[in-house]
Amino acid sequence: MNTPTDENVVGRLSTLDRFLPIWIGVAMLVGLLLGRAIPGLNTAIESIQIDGISLPIALGLLIMMYPVLAKVRYDRLDTVTGDRKLLIGSLVLNWVIGPALMFTLAWLMLPDLPEYRTGLIIVGLARCIAMVIIWNDLACGDREAAAVLVAINSVFQIIMFAVLGWFYLSVLPGWLGLEQTTIDASPWQIAKSVLIFLGIPLVAGYLSRRIGERTKGRDWYEQSFIPKIGPWALYGLLFTIVILFSLQGDQIASKPWDVVRIALPLLAYFAVMWGGGYLLGAAMRLGYARTTTLAFTAAGNNFELAIAVAIGTYGATSGQALAGVVGPLIEVPVLVALVYVSLALRRRFPITAAPTTAARNVR
């Protein structure tokens, strides 16, 4: 299949896709206004949870992730698992460079704010397993590669999150003569986040494709079923954004300078991680689709896990929890902007024979 031109890509975008930055901006504004206009709304939303998992946020993320994971061609995953350069590059970016970079930025830019600093370090340890899938899809990245890298991050997250938290909050600061703190994150708490936010939509997406193709055929599945469920990914994204902003509307409005202080290292982090992922992918000649996937999986973070750990360890009104919440509030607009940067860079990549899904990602 020939790779479509940029003009064809833009021409085939739906109204929802074409004006996505506007819809996201509106969702942010609606969330902030709701949080300010309705007293007790954040408390009411926070109370709708099961075993520490926010049901409204979970609902939004599941609706968002299912359509994207239903698009994955699971019979092509072996083309990704055999790409050692991609897998090793992703592991190094996510589990060596990412946490170390956030630790460095937090200490350099927030030396006088220990609560916010700790919250940001926790954000850096929580590698993305949810929202990155939709950023990758919007940027025409490799869906199969994204599914594999997210699954690998999930396994490493269960194994390494608590260990790295102990290292970056207690051991390394001690070696450097800096203030030490602790983290309380059980393996079950982390595994629960992975099972809910990745496991449920992944199983649903896999079963949808298997059952749909067996009963109706691949042509029907990709030409009839996928177009019907596709827009729901963005509906789920917009719903999640409204919920997140409404939860913290009052805090954001009452502590604007604190939000700015927290935002600065986050902006630097997203820029360095995404740019580093892109440069690494280009240097390894991964092609556009997999370079894009590498960059977005490196830049995103699992905000739900970071917020849950911060609240569980330090309390819902703590500075650590606020830093965790500011994370997605900065990540969403920044990564949306990087989607467009990525699409603009697309023409600079030569068309290669390597198996990618760029040609199949146009909705």
| SS3 of residue 134 by DSSP | helix
Task: Report pLDDT for 358.
Answer: 37
Residue matched to tokens 């937090």: 106
CB 322 within 8 Å of CB 255: yes
- 110-to-104, 177, 195, 260, 331 alpha-carbon distances in Å: 10, 16, 33, 11, 19
**Radius of gyration, CA atoms only, the chain:** 20
The torsion defined by the Cα of 286, 290, 296 and 301, in degrees rounded to 10, comes to -100
DSSP state of 348: G
Task: Report pLDDT for 25.
Answer: 83
- For the question of whether the overall pTM of this predicted structure is more than 0.85, the answer is no
Token pair of 148 as six digits = 């594999």
Residue matched to tokens 């370090």: 121
Task: Report pLDDT for 221.
Answer: 94
Task: Report pLDDT for 265.
Answer: 96
- 339-to-106, 135, 345 alpha-carbon distances in Å: 25, 7, 10
Which DSSP helix (H) or strand (E) runs through 49? strand 49-50
Please return the burial class of 87, using the count of CB atoms within 10 Å of its CB with bins 0-12, 13-18 and 19+: middle
Task: Report pLDDT for 38.
Answer: 80
Token pair of 2 as six digits = 């020939």
Task: Report pLDDT for 10.
Answer: 45
DSSP codes, 57-105: HHHHHHHHHHHHHHH--GGGTHHHHT-HHHHHHHHHIIIIIHHHHHHHH
**Beta bridge pairs of residue 50:** 53
Task: Report pLDDT for 356.
Answer: 42
Task: Report pLDDT for 357.
Answer: 41
Query: 10-residue block means of pLDDT along the chain (363 residues)?
Result: 43 61 84 81 77 79 86 88 94 96 96 93 87 87 92 86 90 92 74 80 92 94 91 86 77 81 95 96 94 95 79 74 82 89 85 42 40
